[in-house]
Structure 1
Amino acid sequence: MKEMTGLHSLVSIENFIKQHKFSFIYISRPGCTVCHAVLPQLRIVLDQFPNIKLGHINADDVAEVAGRFSVFTVPVLLLFIDGTEFLREARFVHFEQLEQKLKRVYRLYEGE
């Protein structure tokens, strides 16, 4: 399963996004049952993309994340490429569609 880096401040989040060409940010809360169901599926999908790095933010610990990334519900899945938000999914994620989107974007940008 895809490795996941815990991100505990806005600074660590910004650094994570800057350090990796492909940064995937997963924002959740401990009491969110949907979040607990989404994460294992997300990690399996991301296993196909070795250069996408996965970071996790607990929105309860980093409350500022809501304002910084316009988060109104959890879970939120954000893909950044070269520091720019490229893909956003929230709450109920359709994994087949997400996988297809990731494949297209990954092929396009990995070839650079």
Structure 2
Amino acid sequence: MLPRLEELSKEYENSKFFPIDTKKNPEVSGEFLVFVTPVLIIYYDGIEIMKKVRFFSISEIKSEIEKFLEKIL
């Protein structure tokens, strides 16, 4: 899943992708309320706009990003 998410991030200009290993960085789990993995959290201008936990597809993520971008542009 990680390589596919990284590829997806390249499709969006000015996006940044930060994979974080919560086992190596347990403080991140508390800060972002991550209780299970995988978790995908997407921010726009510092505001969380999407959080997907465990079962999600790349097409689902892409569709939701596109819907969000349509609303703001």
| TM-score of the pair, normalised by structure 1 | 0.58
Moved over 6 A (4+): none
- Give the number of the structure with larger relative contact order, counting CA–CA contacts within 8 Å between residues 6 or more apart: 1
Aligned to 1:75: 38
User: CA offsets per residue over residues 10-30 of structure 1, 9 Å max, x none?
Assistant: xxxxxxxxxxxxxxxxxxxxx
Q: Does 1:48 align with 2:11?
A: yes
**Percent of residue pairs identical:** 27
Q: Report the residue type matching 1:99 in the other structure.
A: K
Instruction: Specify every segment of 5 or more residues in structure 2 that has no aligned partner in the other structure, as ranges.
Output: none
Which structure is higher in strand share?
A: 1
Kindly report the root-mean-square deviation, in angstroms, between the aligned alpha carbons of the 2 structures: 1.4
User: CA offsets per residue over residues 15-56 of structure 1, 9 Å max, x none?
Assistant: xxxxxxxxxxxxxxxxxxxxxxx1111122222112211112
How many residues in Structure 1 have an aligned counterpart in Structure 2?
73
Q: Does 1:59 align with 2:22?
A: yes
